[in-house]
Amino acid sequence: MKLAKRVESLPPYLFAEISKKIAAKRAAGIDVVTFAIGDPDIPTPPHILAELHRAADVPANHRYPESEGLPELNQAISDFYQRRFEVRFEPMKETLALIGSKEGIGHVALCFIDPGDIALVPDPGYPVYEIGTMFAGGTSYRLDCTRETGWLPNFDAIPADVAEKAKVLWLNYPNNPTGATADIGFFQRAVAFAKKYDVAILHDNPYCDTAYDGYQPPSIFEVDGARDVAIEFNSFSKMYNMTGWRIGMAVGNRTMIDALMRVKSNIDSGIPQAIQRMAIEAVNGPQDCIAENNAIYQRRRDRMVAGLRKIGLEVDTPKASLYVWAKLPAGVTSADFAAKVIEDTAVVVTPGRGYGLNGEGYIRLSVTTPDDRVEEGMRRLEAWGGM
């Protein structure tokens, strides 16, 4: 048997390896505190679950769902963007429901990338941008993002010959893993770059409502002309604690949305309709859970920042996202630090190198860990004292 080259060259998914280490420790009877995966620990709100229970009893929801989603869900997505960003999309032409935003992020390269094409991806960045490109036969050109640039790419630094060959530009603000944010001026520059070089912008925006200290992250569609060149991925996962239900969305340029829908319709059968009904209730129902979640996450963020600084790490307090990004002492690799921490304290952090070359020398911690476990993890790290 011979596997496809794309599979043979596929690196292990970052969190699969971390999960193995956690399982090994727990199998040995060790109490592990993990700050690894950005998976909300707060339950899905009761009114959303109640809609799932109701919808599960409807026989029509037991059948194959359509790939394009229920019209009511597309309308709810459009209404959300109007309410949140004062941008309206035509529901059945410019919105698309996804089986979690990761599904769309992974498949969208098939809409744009032919073998040999270039995708512009941030470094550090969410690994799926590069993996999707590889599956489509393309090549990723990594855009240097550093603490000095505010973890933003410099479009002027992209060589002209690379820009002319590029098919897509990936952006993600608020950012995973760094927690960095971008203002409207940055998105204006991105749109201008995309129009100059005929590049499609793919903006990953699942943390638009996971923000602190009164900050409200923008959508790229608040920029004039963005609809000509961009789509934006978003998710119900972070806003409404629905990671396990697997439902997200894409909005934007209708040609790009149609291309993604055509790919999806040939690969999957859509989102279970009862879960779509949950999402409609999430968007149209009470929104109190968003502010309540953010207050919890902000409290945890502040505790983590204080604890990490106490052991000598440099941390810029994030204004948004689920992550705290910490700079390690000079000469310490992220893998060595993470290995030392789990061995000495049974605390799990994510090595920054897993997100790209520019992630080396950093670690990421997620705030999606219960308060008592955050306190326990920080207590252990403070007692340990650092390398």
Q: What is the pLDDT of residue 25?
A: 85
Regarding the domain delimited by 5-43+289-384, which CATH topology (the fold level of the hierarchy) does it fall under? Answer: Aspartate Aminotransferase, domain 1 (3.90.1150)
pLDDT in tens, 175-199: 999 999 999 999 999 999 999 999 9
Q: What is the pLDDT of residue 22?
A: 83
Instruction: Choose among 206, 14, 108: nearest CA to 119.
Output: 108
At the top level of CATH, the class of 46-284 is alpha beta
Q: What is the pLDDT of residue 18?
A: 74
Q: What is the pLDDT of residue 72?
A: 98
Instruction: Choose among 195, 282, 5, 231: nearest CA to 109.
Output: 231
Distance in angstroms (rounded) separating the CA atoms of residues 220 and 203? 7
Task: Mark the ranges of the chain whose per-residue pLDDT is less than 50.
Answer: none
Q: SS3 for 34?
A: strand
**Beta strand 166-171 pairing with 118-123:** parallel
Q: What is the pLDDT of residue 117?
A: 97
Q: What is the pLDDT of residue 95?
A: 98
Q: What is the pLDDT of residue 15?
A: 67
Q: Which residues contact 351 (CB under 8 A, 6 or more apart)?
A: 333, 334, 335, 337, 338, 359, 363
Q: Which residues contact 224 (CB under 8 A, 6 or more apart)?
A: 191
Task: Please check whether the two domains, 5-43+289-384 and 46-284, share a CATH topology.
Answer: no
Q: What is the pLDDT of residue 13?
A: 67
Query: pTM of the entire structure?
Result: 0.96
pLDDT in tens, 273-285: 999 999 999 999 9
Domain ranges of the chain: 5-43+289-384, 46-284
